[in-house]
Amino acid sequence: MIVVHRKKLLSLIKKSEGPKLDFKLKIDLDTESGRKELAKDICAIANSKGGRGYLIIGVEDKHKTVEGIEEITFTEEQVQQIISSRCEPPIPISLEILECDNKRLAVITIYDGGQKPYQLRENGAFYIRRGSTTDTMRKQELISAFQENLTINAELCSMIKSNVQCLNKSLVEDYFSSQGIVISDDNYNTFLENASIVNLDKESNEYVCTLGGLLVFSSINNIFVPHNMIRIINKVNKDLYEVNIIQGDLLQILDKSEELLCKVLPSEYPIEAVNEAVKNAVLYRDYTIFDKEIEVIIDFSSITVISPGILVRGNNIHSHNYLRRNMWIYEKLITLDTKKRFAKSGRGFSRMKKTVKNYGRVIFVNSMQNNCFKVIFPGINILR
């Protein structure tokens, strides 16, 4: 997918810096200050009005002299990871390396994702471009941005470079069929868009999948969402691999993890409790944390399920003050899951404790420092 053609690049270079265009001679992603500066600049461009924005690296900003980049040490994945881990909601971007006057330039395209206003996680600030400079958003600007985008939801963010062909059509048809809707090739894209499974990119006039759409309806979503996986570390069963990576759509991930856990753990272990913790992790993890995956660490002394993102507000685990995260995904999963894993009554915490009460304690850790939620079960030593 070519985003910026050479003709478009030449046109951009002729323009002056503004709310949607910024020139930089270079960026430094090896230092914390450099990464902060990049996130701040992209956040400001994303919050400014005017459709797509561009950050062109290798151009001296005052005189617009094309200097180029001698050695490009960063990749699109690295830039995306920096932005997604520092900005909330995630800002859709892409990176291309193009030539101009026989010199290489890096062009970061910032898409109009419809999720404004974007905020830096570190200091909570909202930035905007005023002409060619970056500034914090004022009260009225924030009010206007929130009013224009009342449905801010990370699950509905566009995943650039994805397309309708990434989706499992039979799974999509199953979902609509459960709602009493019969879809055809003629109305397929329309229903996908109405259900927020895809968004229409206004500039290219092409459909791209939403984050939630890929997670629920695409078995190859790891191409675009590589952090959607479960890493199962097996330290107890020598007949199986120690490190196991499970990927796919969310229901596939649950099915595969349950199957593997049954192979790794002794049949007499209360596996249902561990499956419950994994299910909760898949449903409630923070999918905007792009550099962490769900982990299950199986040892003789303990079994730990680690989910990115805290789950409870405050320090009291039993306050029931849960974060209402991924409700769009929840509705899709509860509709599609033929095993009815999401339809069980009662709270997951209680079910986990009840299932293992004859074997030991379950420990819940809501780690603000590491921004994760852990469930720690007794290890298989309890069976000896």
pLDDT band at 383 (very low <50, low <70, confident <90, very high): confident
- Would you state the pLDDT for residue 176? 95
pLDDT, tens digit, 9 for 90 and up, residues 257-272: 999 999 999 999 999 9
pLDDT cut 70: percent of the chain above it? 95
pLDDT, tens digit, 9 for 90 and up, residues 75-90: 888 898 899 889 988 8
Mean pLDDT of 104-119: 87
pLDDT cut 90: percent of the chain above it? 63
Q: What is the mean pLDDT of the chain?
A: 90
- Would you state the pLDDT for residue 244? 98
- Would you state the pLDDT for residue 343? 77
CATH 3.30.950.30 residue ranges in the chain? 6-152
Q: Are 42 and 93 in contact (CB under 8 A)?
A: yes
Alpha carbon distance 275, 235 (integer Å): 18
Q: Domain 6-152 is of which CATH architecture?
A: 2-Layer Sandwich (3.30)
* Residue with the larger pLDDT of the pair 222 and 61: 222
- Would you state the pLDDT for residue 257? 98
Q: Over the chain, what HEC string results?
A: CCCCCHHHHHHHHHCCCECCEEEECCCCCCCHHHHHHHHHHHHHHHHCCCCCEEEEECEECCCCEECCCCCCCCCHHHHHHHHHHHEECCCCEEEEEEEECCEEEEEEEECCCCCCCCEECCCCCCEEEECCEEEECCHHHHHHHHHHCCCCCHHHCECCCCCHHHCCHHHHHHHHHHCCCCCCCCCHHHHHHHCCCEEEECCCCEEEEEHHHHHHHCCCHHHCCCCCCEEEEECCCCCCCCEEEECCCHHHHHHHHHHHHHHHCCCCCCHHHHHHHHHHHHHHCCCCCCCCCEEEEECCCEEEEEEECCCECCCCHHHCCECCCCHHHHHHHHHHCCCCCCCCCCCHHHHHHHHHCCCCCCEEEEECCCCEEEEEEECHHHHC
Mean pLDDT of 100-125: 88
pLDDT band at 368 (very low <50, low <70, confident <90, very high): confident
pTM exceeds 0.75, yes or no: yes
The yes/no answer on whether domain 230-383 falls in CATH 3.40.50.300 is no
Mean pLDDT of 306-328: 80
pLDDT band at 70 (very low <50, low <70, confident <90, very high): confident
- The candidate with the shortest Cα–Cα distance to 286, out of 145, 137, 85, 148, is 85
CATH 3.30.565.60 residue ranges in the chain? 230-383
pLDDT, tens digit, 9 for 90 and up, residues 3-52: 667 788 888 988 999 999 999 999 999 899 999 999 999 999 999 988 89
